[in-house]
Amino acid sequence: MSTAETVRKIVATHGKLPVDVGTIADDGDLYSAGLSSFASVQLMLAIEEEFDIEFPETMLNRGTFASIASIAKAVDTISAEQQAA
């Protein structure tokens, strides 16, 4: 399963979106789709757990959680950095 697909599953479980996640494109705006700031934190915690990573402070902003694609990109970046370290 690609990172984006896993992220999509987690968004479906923890995003608490008022719409079906299947209707949102990978680059679709999650905030417009109804992602609240509270749900974005829950989502972040679930992603940290799933991928065994920790989001650095510099990535804790709206941009990182704007879309499934941007979350997947952040996850891949952090995973690569953690493996290199």
Partner 1 sequence: MNIVTKAVAAELSDRARRAAKVAGEFADAVDREGRFPREGMDALKNERLMSIQVPGELGGEGASMQEIAEVCAILGQACASTAMTYAMHQIQVASIVGYSGNSAWHADFLKRLCDEQVLIASATSEAGIGGNLRNSVCAIEVDGDTVRLEKDATVISYGEMADAILITSRAHKDAPPSDQVSTLFLKGQYTLEHTRDWDTLGMRGTCSDGYIFRGEAPKEQILPRPFAEIAAESMLAVSHLLWGALWYGIAADAVNRAQSFVRAAARRQPGSTPPGALRLAEASSLLQQVKGNVVAGLRQFEEAKTDANKLSAMSFAVAMNNVKVGTSQTILTIINHCMLINGIMGYKNGTPYSLGRHLRDAHSAQLMISNDRILGNTSTMLLVHKQDTSLIG
Interface residues with partner 1 (CB under 8 A)? 17-19, 31-38, 41, 44-45, 48, 55-57, 60-63
Nearest CA among 66, 75, 64, 11 for reference residue 39: 11
**What are the tokens at 19?**
């719409």
| Residue with smaller CB distance to partner 1, 36 or 79 | 36
Given 3-state DSSP classes, what are the helix, strand and coil percentages for the chain, each rounded to the nearest 5? Answer: 65, 0, 35
Closest contact distance (angstroms) between CB of 33 and partner 1 is: 7
Closest contact distance (angstroms) between CB of 42 and partner 1 is: 8
